[in-house]
Amino acid sequence: IAFMTDAGTPVVSDPGTALVRAAKDAGARVVAIPGPSAVMAAVSASGLVTGGFRFVGFLPRGGRERREALALVTSTPEAVVLFESPRRFRETLAELAERMRGRRAVVARELTKVHEEILGGTVEELAALEREWLGEITLVLAPAEPAAEGARPSDEELDARIDRELAQGRRAKHIAEELSVELGLPRRELYARAVARRGAPRE
């Protein structure tokens, strides 16, 4: 039995896991035939990845699942690779620009095709582009830069940032993880602060 798809590498880009599991459960031998990979092509061309990276696939479309997936992306210290639909890509860039200011990124579009395009910049610069995004999109985010010495915000700035994140319905745990990577502050300290702010009266 051969399984082929035009939706990308089985399991990576489509629900091929169920078929592979069923074949293994039936005692069948499963053999992978490697083909072009948008993940590795984008990583190779990005110039941003020097060690390991985290691949998260497609982000959920909305709701709590999407918020949690974005929290995972922004709290991961190593490079991150993800796929996104062209319909949602502008929104995704805007959300990442809000949470990952200054992070370098590369957009790899329509890889190995006639209209292949690779664009680099910070997430804010990419989010500010006035253009329509088309085709299959792979986004590579550079590893987090070590927090600069003396970069800690004031208590008022930190509380305001936490309040904004809480107002969006985000969990204290995810806020702490993200800010810990961004600011180089202890995760436990940030978590306690977020929990305290969650119960604080809003002005």
Cβ atoms of residues 102 and 77 within 8 Å? no
What one-letter code names the amino acid at 33? I
108-121 confidence digits (pLDDT tens) = 999 988 999 999 99
User: For 54, how many CA atoms within 13 A lie in the half-sphere containing its CB?
Assistant: 16
Q: Are strands 79-84 and 117-122 parallel, antiparallel or unpaired?
A: unpaired
Q: Any idea where the domains of the chain sit in the sequence?
A: 1-35, 38-141, 155-198
Q: In terms of CATH, what superfamily is 38-141?
A: Tetrapyrrole methylase, C-terminal domain (3.30.950.10)
Q: Would you state the structure tokens that stand for residue 18, as one six-digit string? A: 């169920």
Q: What is the pTM of this model?
A: 0.72
Per-residue pLDDT of the chain (203 residues), as tens digits, is: 777 776 667 667 666 788 889 999 999 999 888 777 899 999 999 999 988 999 999 999 888 888 888 888 988 889 999 999 999 999 999 999 988 888 999 999 999 889 999 999 999 999 999 999 999 999 999 998 765 544 577 888 888 889 988 888 888 888 888 888 777 788 888 999 999 988 765 44
